[in-house]
Chains A and B, each alone.
Chain A
């Protein structure tokens, strides 16, 4: 209980300082949260660097403009940033999905054939991962995130979430199944 209270008090102080225009407070907050956010966005993008860069940039700009609405008692700053990033990613992939449904004219006038180019196929694979992650429930996404992105073991997650390892293992199994289904892989 002491740690969350400490976190809430600290983040409240940082938010007030940033709202008052304290650049040093912002810099400290930014340096602390940048790497985890970037890693998360890159992971959620399936490793698409250009999309991750754009989304991370937009996330921080949104965060600094809307920091007044951040409520430390409702959750950590890192989680709030992730929420902004997820919304931006959803919008991004919605736009690209709309574009990809339109047939692109080829040289002979018909729809383009499946890209054989490696880079293009890697990109398509990454977008598939990103879309599959976007389709998961919040809890499934969270357990996959701590397992794969943060590299934490089942016991560690269970301790952090106040669950039994068995519950976490079960949740992880269901999350993986959900991902496979969204990704389009037979179980």
Chain B
């Protein structure tokens, strides 16, 4: 019989091994490697923040570019052209009633010619033989020697002259 208590194997093999003398070298190496990863995390975070800010800026720029109203078109107004003097009214350009009105206010020397022109215009442009007849009659009444026939006379004027001639002849015969 053995009085010495048997030593447990656990006490032998589970006793912690002594710390290696150069354990600090590994400690520093691992610290450096892990710290580098932490630092990288910081830079990644900053880079992420920077990228987010840049994205916001770009988004803002794009928004203002695409959503802002289009610039107003500049309309250049040309300087006013120099006033062109209106042509002097003339019997050639005025309408028949105006020429007739003009003839009524004209001097005696011009009146017969103006009525004649007003009559021509009534007949040719307005197709108004009655008005033309009125003007021709006034023209013949105003102008001396106008009753003589002319190749420029139109049918209405010739008919009036003819009638006036016949009237004169009849009156002479009667007297």
Contact = CB atoms under 8 A, between A and B. Distances in A.
B16 A23 contact: no
Contacts of B172: none
A144 B9 CA distance: 13
Contacts of A56: 26, 30
Contact of B17 (A22, A43, A57): A43
Interface string B29-42: 11101110111011
A183 to B, nearest CB: 7
Interface stretch (A34-42, A82-90, A99-107, A158-166): A34-42
Interface in A35-83: 38-39, 42-43, 46-47, 49, 53, 56-57, 60-61, 63-65
Contacts, number: 86
A27 B31 contact: yes
Contact of B16 (A27, A39, A61): A39
Contacts of A18: 38, 41
Contact of A39 (B19, B26, B39): B19
Given A38-B23, A43-B16, A148-B15, A26 B34 contact: yes
Contact of A21 (B8, B27, B42): B42
A12 interface: no
Nearest to B33: A61
Interface in A1-16: none
A26 to B, nearest CB: 5
Nearest to B38: A26
A43 B17 CA distance: 6
Nearest to A144: B14
B70 to A, nearest CB: 46
Given A18-B38, A30-B31, A42 B43 contact: no
B9 A20 contact: no
Main secondary structure of the interface of A (DSSP, over half): helix
A19 B41 contact: yes
B168 interface: no
Given A47-B17, A183-B13, A21 B33 contact: no
A34 B28 CA distance: 10
A57 B26 contact: yes
Contact of A60 (B19, B23, B30): B30
Contacts of A144: 10, 14
Nearest to A132: B13
Contacts of B37: 61, 64-65
Nearest to A43: B16
A95 B94 CA distance: 120
A148 B23 CA distance: 21
Contacts of B26: 38, 53, 56-57
Given A149-B16, A183-B9, 15 more contacts: A19-B41, A20-B42, A22-B38, A23-B42, A27-B35, A39-B19, A43-B14, A43-B17, A56-B30, A61-B34, A61-B37, A125-B13, A129-B14, A144-B10, A176-B10
15 contacts: A22-B42, A26-B35, A30-B31, A34-B27, A39-B19, A42-B16, A42-B17, A43-B14, A49-B20, A60-B30, A64-B38, A129-B14, A144-B10, A149-B16, A183-B13
Interface of A: 18-23, 26-27, 30, 34, 38-39, 42-43, 46-47, 49, 53, 56-57, 60-61, 63-65, 125, 129, 144, 148-149, 176, 179-180, 183, 185
